[in-house]
Every structure is written in C-alpha cells, then in structure tokens.
Amino acid sequence: MKNWIIGAGLGLALTATAAADLELSPLFGNHMVLQREQPIAVWGSADAGSSVSVSIGEASAEVVTDKNGNWIATLPAMNAGGPVEVRIASGDETVTLKNVLLGDVWVCSGQSNMFWRLEQTDRGEEFVASAEDEESLRLFQMQKVWSRTPETKVDSIGWRKASEETAGRFSAVGYHFGRILQHETGVPIGLIQSAWGGTPAEAWTPIETLEAAPEFYRARLDSLAEYDLSDEEAEAAIAEAQAKHASFIELAWREDIGEDSGWATPECDDQSWPEVEIPGYIDGVLGSFNGIVWLRREFDLSAEPDGGDLLLGRIDDYDTVYINGHRVGKTDVDQGDGRRIVRKYDVPSGVLHKGTNSIAIALMDVRSSGGVTPDGRPFELQTDGETIDLGGMWKYKVGFNDRDYGSFPLPGDYAVPVGRVFRRPAALYNAMIHPLTRSGVKGAIWYQGESNSGRGDEYRRLFPEMIMAWRDAWKDARGDPGYELPFYFVQLPNYRPAVDEPGESSWAELREAQRLADAGLSQTGMAITIDLGDPGDIHPTNKLPVGERLAKLALADTYGVEQGQVTGPHPRSISVRGGRVEIRFDHAEGLHAKHGPLRGFAIAGPDGTFHWAEGSVRGNSVFVSSPEVGEPTRVRYGWADNPGCNLYNQDGLPATPFEMTLE
C-alpha cells in the first residue's frame, strides 16, 4: 500500500501531468472539514529536497521535504467558516482542494454497533432521504485495515458530502451524532468513521500501553505469538479448525430430529409450538442457543403458480428450506460463511398450489446470534402472479441442541487467533487511529465492549488506559501537551433473555467497567443505553436515541450548551440508615420509578448471595431493603445481561447499572 494516494484519485484539481510527484494524504481532499481553532497541519510527499507551499486564504506556510520526500506544513488556527480553497504547490505542480469547510472533526470508533450503517436502522430510510440537506456535514470512512506496527498512511476513498449514497452506508450512531451537533451549533461537522465489527479494545490500544504492565496484560501479550504465525502455519491451523467445525455440522444435520419427525410436511401439527418474529434473531426466545431450530408457517396463494423465487435474505448461519414437504434449497458450510450469503431459492413447478401452502426452515446456528438477519432485504415468495410477504410470526421448535453433543467447534478463522488477525493487540490502533493523530480533531465517540464481555475486570484497567493512550498520541503528534481529547462512549445496552433471579452477568461487569472509566477520567461522558437494546439482537436497530444521548453529552461538556440533565442518574454514595440501604444519586432531578414499582435492585450480605430488594425513591435517593439480608454489604442495580430496571430522572434518561460496596 502506498503511503499517499495520488491527488487525482481523490477528485482533486491538479494543474500538472498525471505523473506529478506532489501527493497528499487521503485525509485531505475536496469537501473536507478542517478543525477550527487549532493549528492546521497538512502533509504529503513530493520530490526530496523540494519546496512545498500551502495556503488557505491569506494564511500560508512553506516547508522543504525531507530526504524521503515527506513534508508537513502547519498553518495558524482559524475560525469556523467556509467554503474555502486550500492550495498546495511544489515547483510547477499545484493541487487545489475545493469546498473545504472549517469546523469540528469527530472520530467515530469502536466495533460493529458503531460500524452499523444508517440504512440498516429504524427510520434510516427517512434520514438517508434527507441527507442532501446536510450541506455542512461531511463524511470520511476509513477502510478496514490492520498493521503490526504504527502507520502514518491513511486508507480511505476520501471525504464525501452527505448524500443518500454516502449517508446510508455511514455509521448510524456517528451520523446522528454529527447531524445533531451541526444543527445545534451551526458549526460545520466532519465525521471520521474508524470502526470494525467484532474487535476487542486491546486491538485499538497501543502496544506500549500493554507492555507497560506485562503482569496485568500477560494473556494479551502472550497472544501475539498466536497472531503472528507464518503464512504456512496460519493456513494449516485454520484448515485444521475448519475441518473440525465442518465435521460437527455434518453430525448436527444427521442427528437433527426434525425431518424424521415430519416437521417439513404440511401435515405437521405445530399448534403447540411457540412463536418468534422472523426476520429476527432466535436468541430472544432461546437464549445462548446453538443448534438447529425449525421454523414453520403457512401462506395462501390466490392462483395456481408455475414455480417461483424464494427470497430469504441472509440467514445466520445455515439452512435447509422446504415448501409443502419438498426441499427447495440448502446453504451449508461448504458454501462459505452463511451469514454473508443472500438466499434465493428456485421453487420448481408443481411444488406450490392454489390455497394454503406450508414453508419450513431448518435453521442452523453455529455461534453467536442465530436467525434471519433483519436488514430490510426482501423476505418473500415471488410467483408469476403475486408476491407473498413471509415476515411475521413463525412457529419454532428445537431439532438439535449442540450442548447434547459437546457444542459446535468454532469456524476455522474464529477458532484460532491468526484467523482474525485484525483482533491482534494494537493492530487497529496502528492502522486506523495512529495515522489520524497528526490531524486536528475536536474529539472522539466510541461504541465497543461486546467483544470484551467476560473480561470485565481487565476492561476496568484497559479501557481508561486506552483512552489516555489516545490522548497522549494526539498530544505528542501535535506537540501540544495541554490538549486533552474529549471522549464520549456508549455503555452496553440490554441483551439476551431476562432472568428471574439475581446472578452474575458478563455484560453487567463490562458496563461497570465503563461506568468506572467515566467516573475516573475527565473530559469523558457515558451514554447510558440500558433501555435501548434488543434481547434477541446484539445489533439493536434504534440507533437514533444512541446518537442523541452522545450528542447531549458533547453539547453540554464540549460546547457548553444548556439543555437540562444530559445523562441519567449516577450513584454518588451509599450508606445504611435504619436497616435500609440509601443510595444517593447525581443527575437525579425528578428521580422516579417508571411504569410501576421500583425494579432492578438487589442486595447481598456477608455470604455474598444477592436477593431482590424492595425500594422507594425519596428526593435524590433510593432506599432499598430485603427481609433475606439483615446486614447488607453490597448493592447492585441493573445487574444482568438484560435487566428489568426502571429508575429514571425527569428528563427521561435511565440510571446507569452499578455495583457498590458498603464500607
């Protein structure tokens, strides 16, 4: 990969020939936003030892390239405004950047919930359609790349104006955040999307941060050897793991009881089967299930068709499909990653008939969320005379549970670290954050944590250290020791089925680590989303309120905009009064239990066993107690993957889940 992309490839206006040596980083291009009120750094390459001038209006700077031809010029800070032109010249070569705005640039980073596209979300179509109106909102998407060492190059197709095409494929959370900031402040906003699904925080952290505490991060550091196998070793390890995975899939199809039980046939009596909404995920009704679940429903045709096309979108992970007892399609492991394959099955003539027909899907889930991906793709049967929407409630029943056979081995590239080398410690910091640090930015927003669930104790240290490392990198790159990058992040929402009794939770542990990071660092803010998740989908589609809550924090703390309470209640202190535990809250004006009695609190005594607690709200405090706990020592609120909790302030913002210990 070249260090810099030729300017013409970015749509720049060059006055020299196509072989011109003057090049710019892809961070600079038409329609970009330059960070206001900070010195403006511009860099690129040209002939070694040549002079390069950069000008914006009356401001200019001139530098000489180093022995490798690299150059960086710094212009004085400027106020918000534009559009302006940026002129870069060297010898007889000139690059002119047009329609450049001066405003605020925000980095939008994290894993899949930050990467999730606007077009995939609730009301996404509405906001995509109006994107052309957002003249002062500009978008920059980093390509998904990784590196073992810190890079200076940026991999992207460059800056784009907001439009139906660009907005639809941009981060939904990032887009809503930036759109709201622009509307509320009147300042042009540039958004840099630097996100990658399925990535842990250590991949976004400089290696020096981990090496500074080898006793604490020993597992992360030891994993480097597994990520850095030779090509031959990596290929062999992945192939061996994939063979085990494929063998187990064969066993699952063979041992599944559904077909032998007649579940594919129209005569199947499924009246007692429970229901689930499809498209959608099965985790909401089956929990952490891997195996084969059969889905059934009926549909009516008004005329006798001559075959048809069955469009089922993307199914996670594999499937066999029957209509009226006839197998009409199958997607299996030998066809690749089933989650990415869009299903279209041909229904032969003679299978369908006028009147009532049945369809059955034997859906195999081999890891994580299983189901029919609710991404808006057609989920229907098309015949020569009509189209039948198959969305809605389906009957379901388990035909094979992997727990009865030892559980699915992970697919090859998931089973061994080198199969997903982008998760390597520091790999994404090196390639997708470090190259941005010389550029002026206003701050960063972050939505991540799912891939670190189960390691909440480690995340308590890792997450704040990652934030501080980013801040140090921007300070060092810009030579400004006083600069402190504002950092706003999303606390994990509710996910998976609710539980009846208090207990342990990997997602609650992760949320607590996020809460403590917010409490321990300055210039941070945490968007509480415990009421915005989807029990059956790790990627909830209501991203608008997530962007709104992040924007509230930034508007208040970074821009000084008065808007009432901008976050939900946070616990401040805890004590015992008259046998009851009192928890005092900040951001708690109008503290109340929403929709019924207070829920979600549990307390434990010296034995460590938690019991549900009854409670009441008085002013900015909550008082809780339980007859089973005579001597309370710990209090938890919202402590579950998907907790039933209902404490809010008067601005409609939910309280953060937490755990506190009585001294």
Which domains does the chain show, CATH number per domain? 252-404 (2.60.120.260), 570-661 (2.60.40)
| Alpha carbon separation from 162 to 123, 159, 191, 239, 636 (Å, rounded) | 17, 10, 10, 43, 44
Mean pLDDT calculated for residue range 51-77:
96
- How do residues 576-618 score in pLDDT, each as one tens digit? 988 899 999 999 999 999 999 999 999 999 999 999 999 999 9
Mean pLDDT calculated for residue range 499-506:
95
Pairing of strands 137-142, 189-195: parallel
pLDDT band (50, 70, 90) for residue 11: very low
For residue 243, what are its two tokens? 């063979």
What 3-state class would DSSP assign to 171?
strand
For residue 544, what are its two tokens? 């608008």
- How do residues 410-455 score in pLDDT, each as one tens digit? 999 999 999 999 999 999 999 999 999 999 999 999 999 999 999 9
- % of residues, the chain, pLDDT over 70: 97
d(CA 187, CA 80): 7
Residue the block writes with tokens 């989908």: 537
Q: In one letter, which amino acid is 643?
A: P
pLDDT band (50, 70, 90) for residue 4: very low
Asked if 650 and 588 touch (Cβ cutoff 8 Å), the reply is: no
- % of residues, the chain, pLDDT over 90: 92
Average pLDDT score, the chain? 94
At residue 438, the pLDDT reads 94
Asked if 392 and 169 touch (Cβ cutoff 8 Å), the reply is: no
At residue 21, the pLDDT reads 85
Q: What is the number of other CB atoms lying within 10 angstroms of the CB of residue 619?
A: 10
d(CA 81, CA 40): 14
d(CA 349, CA 503): 54
- How do residues 275-308 score in pLDDT, each as one tens digit? 999 999 998 889 889 999 999 999 999 999 999 9
Is the pLDDT reported for residue 80 higher than 60? yes
At residue 459, the pLDDT reads 98
Return phi, psi of residue 12, to 5°.
-85, 160
Asked if 106 and 445 touch (Cβ cutoff 8 Å), the reply is: yes
Asked if 661 and 636 touch (Cβ cutoff 8 Å), the reply is: no
- How do residues 399-412 score in pLDDT, each as one tens digit? 999 999 999 999 99
d(CA 74, CA 503): 56
Buried b (16+ CB within 10 A) or exposed e, 440-453: bbbbbbbbbbbbbb
At residue 614, the pLDDT reads 97
At residue 284, the pLDDT reads 80
At residue 243, the pLDDT reads 97
Side-chain half-sphere of 554: how many Cα atoms within 13 Å? 32
Is the pLDDT reported for residue 15 higher than 80? no
CA 482 to chain centre: 30
d(CA 627, CA 316): 46
pLDDT band (50, 70, 90) for residue 527: very high
Nearest to 81 by CA among 189, 192, 187, 190: 187
Asked if 123 and 203 touch (Cβ cutoff 8 Å), the reply is: no
Sign of the Cα torsion 443, 448, 452, 454 reads: positive
Is the pLDDT reported for residue 20 higher than 60? no
Is the pLDDT reported for residue 137 higher than 70? yes
Q: What is the number of other CB atoms lying within 10 angstroms of the CB of residue 12?
A: 22
- How do residues 469-487 score in pLDDT, each as one tens digit? 999 999 999 888 888 999 9
Mean pLDDT calculated for residue range 348-373:
95
Is the pLDDT reported for residue 17 higher than 80? no
Q: Which residue stretches of 256-349 are H helix?
A: 283-286
Mean pLDDT calculated for residue range 312-324:
97
Give one DSSP letter per residue of 273-290, joined into a string: S-EEEESEESHHHHSS--
| Alpha carbon separation from 36 to 33, 439, 440, 473 (Å, rounded) | 9, 11, 8, 20
Buried b (16+ CB within 10 A) or exposed e, 476-510: ebbeeeebbbbbbbbbbbbbbeeeeebeebebbbb
Is the pLDDT reported for residue 3 higher than 50? no
d(CA 512, CA 271): 43
At residue 368, the pLDDT reads 80
At residue 323, the pLDDT reads 98
pLDDT band (50, 70, 90) for residue 57: very high
Residue the block writes with tokens 């899907």: 361
For the chain, the distance separating the N- and C-terminal CA atoms, rounded to the nearest angstrom, is 57
- How do residues 212-222 score in pLDDT, each as one tens digit? 999 999 999 99
Mean pLDDT calculated for residue range 389-397:
98
Mean pLDDT calculated for residue range 125-140:
98
- How do residues 515-524 score in pLDDT, each as one tens digit? 999 999 999 9
Is the pLDDT reported for residue 229 higher than 90? yes
Asked if 91 and 19 touch (Cβ cutoff 8 Å), the reply is: no
Residue the block writes with tokens 């639809």: 168
Asked if 245 and 411 touch (Cβ cutoff 8 Å), the reply is: yes
pLDDT band (50, 70, 90) for residue 2: very low
